[in-house]
Structure 1
Amino acid sequence: MGERTIAPGGWVPRIGIHLLSGVLVVGAMAAPASAALAGAPARSLDPGPATATTASATTSPTTAQVLRNHDFAAGRASWHPGDRARLAVQQRSSRRALVVKNHSRRTRDVAAQSSSSLLAFPAGTRVTVTAPMASGLRGGRLALRVTERRPSGATRIVTGRAVPGSWRYRTVSTTLTIAHEGSRIAVRPVHTRTRGHARFFVRPVRVRAVLPPGRAGEWVPNSTCRSGALGWTTSPNALLSGVDAPERVCQLRASGSGNLTATSRRSGDRLEAGSLVHVASQVSTVGGARPVRLTLQEVATDGSVVQSFSGSRDAVTDWAWLGAQLRTERSGSRIRVVYRGDGLARGAALRFRGADVTVTSPSTPAPQPTPSEPTPTQPTPTDPGPTPEPTTPTPTASPTPTPEPTPPGSTTRTCDDLNSPQRRTLSFADEFDGTGLDTTKWRVRDRTHLSFDAAYVTKDAVDVSDGTLTIEGRRRSTPASVSSGVRERWYDTGYLDTVGKFSQKYGRWEMRAKLPTSRAMTRGVWPAFWLRGDRTNGEIDVMEAYGGESTQRWNPAGSYTTTLWEDTNLGKQRGEWYSWAHQNWATRTPGVYEGFHTYGFNWTPDCMQFTYDDQVLSTIPIEQVPWARTAFDSPFNIRLNMQVGSSYWGMPDQQHTKDAFDYVVDSVRVYRVNP
């Protein structure tokens, strides 16, 4: 969320952690740098159906990446004659063939051999080599031999099934399983019992390499390229190597301009269905700022991609964090990652390092709600009455925060502690049971506006009745005129916070609410539940949701997002993590706007965790967010508001936005973790 005032013009990058309920996507956002416009997920974020890949990934090396001159386009280069053999290249129309001639008068076995492969292979790689072959005279047999050359210099030769020599081309193949880590291959076409001065022919060779999964415990094998390019598959216009900068990192250099990709092997371990997987990695570019994407894929046992979710930045130069997250759909599946740099010039490079993977098993029991906490009934919003305590938008002095004990133990356990009612103590609560807003707990903003939307903020849009707080969105009969951003504001909305009244560092924050973001006639509607630092510019968006239909190719209305910002004023110019969460928008299961739901956030010195209806959606170790300890070194106050209008999802209009909509909050509670 954030009340950023940004000068018009240009794009201000914006990245963070966002959630849709169930399946999660972690990636990047971008917001146009206009004082009138709202930040929104980046154009590069592709939250389409879960089975759709979001980055073009090369999952096995091409023949050209394995063998030099496999198609003889460079003549005899990189091919060597065997004993008493001569080589030539024959071309007829568009077809080329390597000609291997017996240069002696005797009948003998004649062969040619390729240079060693460009790539080294992990142990367990299954390599299949095929080539159409023919002989000038009948007789003898044609075969392909594949040599495994170990790093030590030792060799192992495998010969496939031989076929009778014939002037008709027949496809010959050999399959070899690499036995030693880092071995390379060489291909040797052979014609046995070749008559004196006779010839045989080999058309372009094809190589298919199926890389094995990593070792047990390896989520991203060779993630820093300490073994060079071993196990990575790159796009044809890229060369991967390990470089010291100063620590060891992977460098994907463009041998030709365009988009570059590097795809890891599959993880060594299999996953249960429903496992929550999060990957975080740092990326940089050499040769100019370019868009960069990190994609996390779930891969089925047959090698097919089940689902694929991405995180991206629009312009990367220095080291920056990217993240991606998903919940597995199939038991026994594995994961792999894909790095992609867009539009790199020849000689430019994408670098990446430190692919840290966190897996949360679905077997972890879900936390139970507090038995003593009441379950509210469906509210009936009423016409608003004026709030008698207007306030000024200028923040007052922050209260002295309640000291928080440092929870012991591991990251996962300390965050999960806050999901247990027995391990936390209530420090703030508002059930909205009165006839008006409790002004000892809340500030209400009045007669002001924000820089990112098209609404006018008024205290009259905030109402407490029937046990709920309602922030109302209402179309005005005449627009309110403001001095910046969208000058004419056609919708009234509300904004309240606890600045100067309550703030806390560490603990659990939760809100139970019914969102107004239905799938139709809510374009631009943007409710939020978020936290902001008293002494720092850090921001935590526990829930941001967007109405529909949007102006984009997909409808976000059934979802919501969560975000962590290093600096609420600078947005994507500084650090950001985010994820989307949703039950399953591919099958259009009930959206978050259907009924009341609880949006939660847990925070300890070691981790941050987001929950939805008491289900853990994501856990982020603090150590994976390099700026977290400084950006969040402060008590945080609570903010509830509803903006109307987004530069990305669309501005409101009477054709796509109803005249009245309500953001209904049943309760807000904050807890401290017990010592």
Structure 2
Amino acid sequence: MLLVPGLFLIAFLLVALPSGGDAGRESRTSDLVLDRALGADEAYLPEWGVPVHRDEFDSGLERWTVRDRSTHGSLSYDRALIASSQVAVRNGMLTITGQRLEAPIPGNEDRPFVTGYVDSAGIFSQEFGRWEIRARLPLPPGSSQGIWPAFWLRPDNSATEGEIDIMEAYGTAASSPYSFSTRSRTQASLHFDQSGQNKTSGWTPAIPGLDTEFHVWAFEWTPTGMAWYIDGLLYKKVLREDYPAYDVAFGTGAKFHMRLNLQYGSKYWGYPDPVDPSVTVDRAPFEIDYVRVWELPR
């Protein structure tokens, strides 16, 4: 029987690939390999389909608003100013770069760093679905004190006080606050209000190479609850019925937009060193390969 190369590959895959799935994975390897052999979108997921909104960062930043100090102040960036100059797309990558200023800006001596911030408010937001980011974090062990990259969701027009933190990571310091080391781990949190107290959080297992390798953080929101994943592994789940405050924060029908930022310092996990690069590096690039969003299947 004569087969053209593409058909031969498909036939081989159908025969050779195992039919069973591996526990803990979001989809079967055979599904993904076959999808790509057929020329399907690599972002296709059997349970979700293809993304309804995405940025592979192959061009500009039309899908985001780039915030700047001149128009949006300093936000809550405890030790840094925000500037549009710190956000760039090059070679298929979004990079938000934090760095130490050569000299403090007059009137902002308590903010010796500059950093970047983007969001999708007014451009894209939704209720329910799946959000995913592939990124490499600017957290070299032992020299990233106070550096705080994050990917999170907030409701349009502050319709509720709810907040969904898909990924937050905290640079390591000489000592570990709360007797817990943040090295090699990232956090997921669900805030029912903005008090900082009414929330639930969870940590990933240890992840080798947070600062040297790319990893995938995913979040799924359905009418019954929420789930967080790292590299395909489920590590936190919240059921709507288990939290009395859930409906007020996340059950109103409000749509949530995305935020990507790199903050410097917090009262929880420490502040950056203003002058010593061996404690807080001079330059910290937060590199994002893609952001993808799927809507809830009907």
TM-score computed with the length of structure 2 as normaliser = 0.80
The structural deviation recorded for 1:422 is 4.2
Q: 1:580–1:481: structure 2 CA closer, same or farther, 3 Å change rule?
A: farther
Instruction: Tell me the distance in 2 between the aligned counterparts of 1:482 and 1:502.
Output: 35
Identity of aligned residues (%): 38
**Paired residues for 1:417-456 under 5 Å:** 420-434=45-59, 436-438=60-62, 441-447=63-69, 448-451=73-76, 453-456=78-81
Aligned to 1:644: 264
Deviation at 1:614, TM superposition (A): 1.6
| Residues 488-542 of structure 1: per-residue CA shift (max 9 Å, x gap) | 2111100000111110000000101001112121110000000001221210000
1:525 aligns with 2:147: yes
Higher RCO (Cα < 8 Å, 6 or more apart): 2
User: In 1, Cα distance between the equivalents of 2:292 and 2:232?
Assistant: 14
CA distance in 1, matches of 2:280, 2:161: 33
- Matched to 2:191, the amino acid is W
C-alpha separation in 1, matches of 2:180 and 2:248: 36
CA gap of 1:593–1:476, structure 2 versus 1, over 3 A, is: same
Matching residue within 243, 257, 261 for 1:625 = 243
Equivalence for 2:13: none
Aligned counterpart, 1:547:
171
Among 123, 132, 140, the alignment partner of 1:501 is 123
Inter-partner Cα distance in structure 2 for 1:481 and 1:559: 36
Distance change >3 Å, CA 666–CA 482, structure 1 → 2: farther
CA distance in 1, matches of 2:106, 2:231: 40
Distance 1:444 1:479 in 2: 23
1:492 aligns with 2:95: no
User: Match for residue 25 of structure 2?
Assistant: 366
2:17 corresponds to which residue? none
Q: CA deviation at 1:549?
A: 2.4
1:668 aligns with 2:291: yes
| SS across alignment from 1:623 | helix
1:377-392 aligned within 5 A: none
Query: SS at the partner of 2:217?
Result: strand
Counterparts of 1:427 and 1:364 in 2: how far apart (Å)?
A: 27
Matching residue of 1:459: 84
Q: CA deviation at 1:446?
A: 0.4
Paired with 1:565 and 1:533, the residues of 2 have a C-alpha distance of: 12
CA shift, 1:618, in A, is: 2.0
Q: 1:481–1:508: structure 2 CA closer, same or farther, 3 Å change rule?
A: farther
In structure 2, what is the Cα distance between the partners aligned to 1:482 and 1:537? 31
Amino acid aligned to 1:580: W
Residue 558 and residue 591 in structure 1: after superposition, are their counterparts in 2 closer, same or farther (change >3 A)? Answer: farther
Instruction: Work out which of the residue numbers 545, 556, 565 in structure 1 matches 2:191.
Output: 565
Task: Give, as a single letter, the amino acid of the residue that structure 2 aligns with 1:499.
Answer: A
Q: Which amino acid aligns with 2:262?
A: M
- Decide whether the 8 Å contact of 2:202 with 2:235 is kept in 1: no
1:579 maps onto 2:202 in alignment: yes
| Structure 1 residue aligned with 2:3 | none
The answer to which structure has the higher helix fraction is: 2
Provide, for residues 208-232 of structure 1, a one-character-per-residue CA deviation record: whole Å limited to 9, x for no partner: xxxxxxxxxxxxxxxxxxxxxxxxx
Q: 1:455 to 1:612 in 2, by over 3 A?
A: same
In 2: Cα distance, 1:636 partner to 1:514 partner: 24
> Structure 1 residues 365 and 579 mapped into 2: Cα distance closer, same or farther (>3 Å)?
closer
Paired letter, 1:366: R
Q: Which amino acid aligns with 2:54?
A: A
Structure ID, larger Rg: 1
- Change in 2 beyond 3 A, CA 1:493/1:452: closer
Q: Does residue 603 of structure 1 match 2:221?
A: yes
Query: Following the alignment from structure 2 to structure 1, what is the Cα–Cα distance between the partners of residues 162 and 153?
Result: 9
Structure 1 residue 550, shift from structure 2 partner: 4.7
Q: Is 1:656 paired with 2:279?
A: yes
Distance 2:77 2:244 in 1: 28
For residues 607 and 564 of structure 1, the distance between their equivalents in structure 2, rounded to whole angstroms, comes to 11
* 1:409-462 CA-partner distances (Å, limit 9, x unpaired): xxxxxxxxxx9434334211000011x322xx1111101213352111110000
Tell me whether 1:512 sits opposite 2:134 in the alignment. yes
What SS class does the counterpart of residue 546 from structure 1 fall into?
A: coil
* 8 Å CA contact 1:561, 1:581 repeated in 2: yes
The aligned amino acid for 1:596 is F
| One-letter amino acid of the structure 2 residue matched with residue 433 of structure 1 | D
Q: Tell me if structure 2 keeps the 8 A contact 1:560–1:592.
A: no
The count of corresponding residues between Structure 1 and Structure 2 is: 257
Hey, what's the Cα distance between the residues in 2 that align with 1:476 and 1:420? 43
Contact 1:559 1:591 in 2 (8 A): no
Q: CA deviation at 1:554?
A: 4.7
Say if 2:41 and 2:50, in contact at 8 Å, map to a contact too: no
- 1:83-135 per-residue CA deviation (whole Å, 9 max, x = no partner) reads xxxxxxxxxxxxxxxxxxxxxxxxxxxxxxxxxxxxxxxxxxxxxxxxxxxxx
Long gaps (5+) in structure 2 = 1-21
Checking the alignment, whether the CA contact within 8 Å between 1:551 and 1:649 is kept in structure 2 is no
Shift of 1:365: 4.9
The one-letter amino acid of 1:600's match is A
Given that 2:24 and 2:234 are in contact with CA atoms closer than 8 Å, whether structure 1 keeps it comes out as: no
Superposition pairs of residues 54-453 of structure 1, within 5 angstroms: 364-368=23-27, 371=36, 372-373=40-41, 420-434=45-59, 436-438=60-62, 441-447=63-69, 448-451=73-76, 453=78
Contact 1:503–1:637 (CA under 8 A) maintained in structure 2: yes
Shift of residue 649 of structure 1?
Answer: 2.4
Give, as a single letter, the amino acid of the residue that structure 2 aligns with 1:610.
W
- What are the ranges of 5 or more consecutive residues in structure 1 without an aligned counterpart? 1-362, 376-418, 584-588
Give the alignment partner of residue 537 of structure 1, picking from 145, 161, 174: 161
CA distance in 2, matches of 1:374, 1:659: 36
Aligned partners of 2:137 and 2:149 also within 8 Å? yes
